[in-house]
Structure 1
Amino acid sequence: MNTIIWIGVFIATFCIMEFMAWFTHKYVMHGFLWKLHKDHHKKDHDSWFERNDAFFLFYAAISIILFYLWSFEGFWLGLPIGLGIFTYGATYFLVHDIFIHQRFKIFRNANNRYAKAIRRAHKMHHKHLGKNDGECFGMLWVPFKYYKEAK
């Protein structure tokens, strides 16, 4: 198997996951599974964990299944796709839960243009406490207007 193809599949999977995060966030989390996501917009409990954290389990399970298929069934695409999903999930956790929401108190001083833009876009998303009228459902790619505001 060609290493370039393997790396390409990994990178493509990581990039596609941004679309999947946007789609899932807009149409599933702010749709029929709002009940699991709403505590992320308006905390209604004292726990450090949120019902919203359950969405992590879905993509983790897909990644684990792909690792299994690669390891035990010889499905070579399972490894680069599984790693792409895993890497996006780890990046999402770092950016969303640690950097933006400060669930762990690190990366507080990041103040470059991208950091400001991503924080602002996410703040605009969270200004809506209900499931409707939301905006900025993606995570890593933010609308250009937030970069302009970050100047």
Structure 2
Amino acid sequence: MDIVTGILIFVATVLGMELFAYAAHRWVMHGPGWFLHASHHRPRPGAFELNDLYAAIFAVPSIVLLLGGVRLGWWPGFTWIGAGIAAYGAIYFGFHDVIVHRRLRTGYVPRSSYMKRIVQAHRLHHAVGTKHGTVSFGFLWAPRPEILKAKLKASGVLTQVGTKGD
């Protein structure tokens, strides 16, 4: 496989992972997988939470595809797909765990409008502590905070959006 095709597959995989992550977050983590994800919507007593198991679960397809593509002679595109999944996981870790939740202290302060929007959208997501009624399930893309606040107010989940979620 030529490098250009591989890079296109890689980029498409990273972009596609945002759609997959949105769906998994909305309909699995806030659905039948809430038993693990609920720990992420509560104060964390230590360095880890049950929700961290999702990182290991979602790493399995990446590892299998990388192994198959690199060592087992599978279609070379699987290597690029596995690498794209791994890259999305690294990007997610940087955005979600480092920048938004500050699980690693870096001193980074979001200054761009994009970064501020992502952080605020995720904070509004956490303004609701249950699996129902929350907003903003994406990680690298999020609606404008005004839209999210309006949805939370309209649903009656929060009476004073803007104080807890900001």
TM-score (normalised: structure 2): 0.83
CA distance in structure 1 between the aligned counterparts of 2:120 and 2:31, rounded to whole angstroms: 23
Deviation at 1:29, TM superposition (A): 0.5
Q: Aligned partner of 2:12: which letter?
A: A
Matches within 5 A, 1:2-151: 2-43=2-43, 46-75=45-74, 76-143=76-143, 145-146=144-145
CA distance in structure 1 between the aligned counterparts of 2:36 and 2:58, rounded to whole angstroms: 15
Deviation at 1:74, TM superposition (A): 1.6
Is the 8 Å Cα contact of residues 22 and 138 (structure 1) preserved in structure 2? yes
Q: Percent identity?
A: 36
Q: Aligned partner of 1:117: which letter?
A: R
Deviation at 1:147, TM superposition (A): 8.9
CA distance in structure 1 between the aligned counterparts of 2:107 and 2:98, rounded to whole angstroms: 7
Deviation at 1:48, TM superposition (A): 1.1
Deviation at 1:120, TM superposition (A): 1.0
Flag the structure with higher helix content: 1
Deviation at 1:46, TM superposition (A): 2.1
Q: Aligned partner of 1:68: which letter?
A: L
CA distance in structure 1 between the aligned counterparts of 2:86 and 2:72, rounded to whole angstroms: 19
Unaligned runs of at least 5 residues, structure 1: none
CA distance in structure 2 between the aligned counterparts of 1:147 and 1:135, rounded to whole angstroms: 12
CA distance in structure 1 between the aligned counterparts of 2:126 and 2:5, rounded to whole angstroms: 39
Is the 8 Å Cα contact of residues 42 and 129 (structure 1) preserved in structure 2? yes
CA distance in structure 2 between the aligned counterparts of 1:107 and 1:8, rounded to whole angstroms: 34
Unaligned runs of at least 5 residues, structure 2: 148-166
Q: Aligned with 2:116: secondary structure?
A: helix
Higher alpha-carbon deviation: 34-43 or 93-102? 34-43
CA distance in structure 2 between the aligned counterparts of 1:9 and 1:46, rounded to whole angstroms: 40
The higher-RCO structure (CA 8 Å, 6+ apart) is: 1
